[in-house]
Amino acid sequence: METQQLVTLVPWTFIAQILNLFIQMYLIKRFLFKPINEVLEKRRQLADKEIQEARTAKEEADTMKTQYETDIANAHAKATEIVQSAQKEAQIKADTLIQEAESQVAGMKARAEADIAQERKKAINEVKDEIGGLAMDIAGKVVEKEIREEDHRKLIDEFIQNVGEAS
C-alpha cells in the first residue's frame, strides 16, 4: 500500500504547491525578469546606437568617397587642362622663336646682300680705277701726246661707263 500513497494526490499539498509556484513566479518576475529585461533593454539600446553610428559612419564614408572621386576627377581634368595649356604655350613660344629666327635670318641675309652689293661696287670701283689708270697709260703711249687733265677724266669716265654696261 505504500506504493499507492506515492501516486495519490493530497489536495492541500497540491494547492500549497500551486500557490508556491505562483509566489515563485511573482518573485522571479519581480526580482529576476525585471532587472534582466532592463539589462537586455540597455544592451538593445546600445546595439541600436552602435548600428546607428555604423550607418552614420558608412554614410560619411560614402560621402567622403564621393567627394574623393569628385576631387580625383577634378584633379585629372585640371591636370589635362594644365598639360594642354603648357603645350599651347610651348607651341606659341616655339612659333615665336621660329619667327624671330626667320626675321634674324632675313635681316642677316639682307645685310649680307647689302654687304655683297657694297663689296661688289667697291670691287667694281677699284677695277674701274685700275682699268682707268691702265687705259690712260695705254692711251698716253698710243697717242703720245699730252692730254689735259679734264680730257683725261672724260676718257676715264667713258671707259668706266662702257665697262660698267658690259658687266
pLDDT at 37 over 70: yes
Convert the pLDDT of each residue in 117-146 to its tens digit. 898 888 888 887 777 777 776 666 666 556
- For the chain, which residues make up each domain, given as ranges? 12-166
Q: Which amino acid is at 133?
A: G
pLDDT at 1 over 50: no
> In whole angstroms, what is the distance from residue 6 CA to residue 18 CA?
18
What's the Cα-to-Cα distance from 166 to each of 160, 161, 162, rounded to whole Å? 10, 8, 6
Global pTM value: 0.41
pLDDT at 167 over 60: no
Radius of gyration of the chain (CA): 63
pLDDT at 166 over 90: no
> In whole angstroms, what is the distance from residue 128 CA to residue 161 CA?
9
Here the cell at position 11 is 489536495
> In whole angstroms, what is the distance from residue 59 CA to residue 54 CA?
8
- Binning the chain into helix, strand and coil, the percentages to the nearest 5 are 95, 0, 5
Q: Note the residue count of the chain.
A: 167
The secondary structure of 1-43, three-state, reads CHHHHHHCCCHHHHHHHHHHHHHHHHHHHHHHHHHHHHHHHHH
> In whole angstroms, what is the distance from residue 142 CA to residue 152 CA?
14
Predicted local distance difference test score (pLDDT) of residue 159: 73
Convert the pLDDT of each residue in 58-99 to its tens digit. 999 999 999 999 999 999 999 999 999 999 999 999 999 999
pLDDT at 160 over 70: yes
